[in-house]
Structure 1
């Protein structure tokens, strides 16, 4: 992978496509009515930066998979479908402001900052709930979600998990971080 252009080597690209195809076939219920040939065509025509972002989702443990298609644009919607919050994206506070507000014991990064660097979006509450219709996720961990500006201005941030066969939305100070809390993202291709 080259750092400057955020592009993958041919070997990285082939490995990523193979992993995505295997996951697509294994979890067919996540994308009923979508054919792998259509996904592959989108991936092959995609900007190299999008493939790099998808590779970052995979590299950090997100196990991205297609969960739908935007009816207006035709874009494939890739979401982190790992059983638990992606391991390579845990122990982060919510955003840069929260990171800067910590005086000691700062986490290495923030969810919003990592997502931006990866070229992906944090899931909204609605997107998180939609994902939970496709399986059971975050039964032992939790994931930061995109927080409404009003809540963020007051110092808070939102996260979700699944417990007792129910999806819960909670609040915390945006500067908090825990070993079992990360974030899930979405990428449109």
Structure 2
């Protein structure tokens, strides 16, 4: 059963609608004790990374999240919260995955935010992408990206620069795109996450 970390900074409706379509059971995590009810977790997020981090801190859930040993999936800003630092508001984040979240540079001559469908290329054998063809399209909406790092990047996309579409460290996963808005490929990814060991 999936626990959704509820801290006032996530697009809960779209996510829960997708989980309902897939028949995946879920509930909301609002206290540290709630983590015990679930066997995997999703951290959603939209908007400003700094304000999202502050809201997450205000819940008192950050120490519990850092200690989790079961599968965790951060979505969009929820993914960025897993990193060390964001240029958005010069924000210190959880540092679960020691990477930097950066603003797309004007030098890249691309429209910001990056909005729309983009191909994602994953490492072969990545369980999160089981039964998802290489180069499948996913839906992105973001102005900040997580740097590519071969130690933690398990899927990449390109928008003026190659960036991390998906990162992983141990049981923590983060996706920059919105699987709940990414059609069949996104639904498959959520199903895969629901069955990760």
Instruction: Compute the TM-score of the two structures, normalised by the length of structure 2.
Output: 0.28
User: Computing the radius of gyration over CA atoms, which structure comes out larger, 1 or 2?
Assistant: 1
State the TM-score, normalizing by the size of structure 1.
Answer: 0.29
Q: Which structure has the highest strand share of the two?
A: 2
Larger helix percent: 1
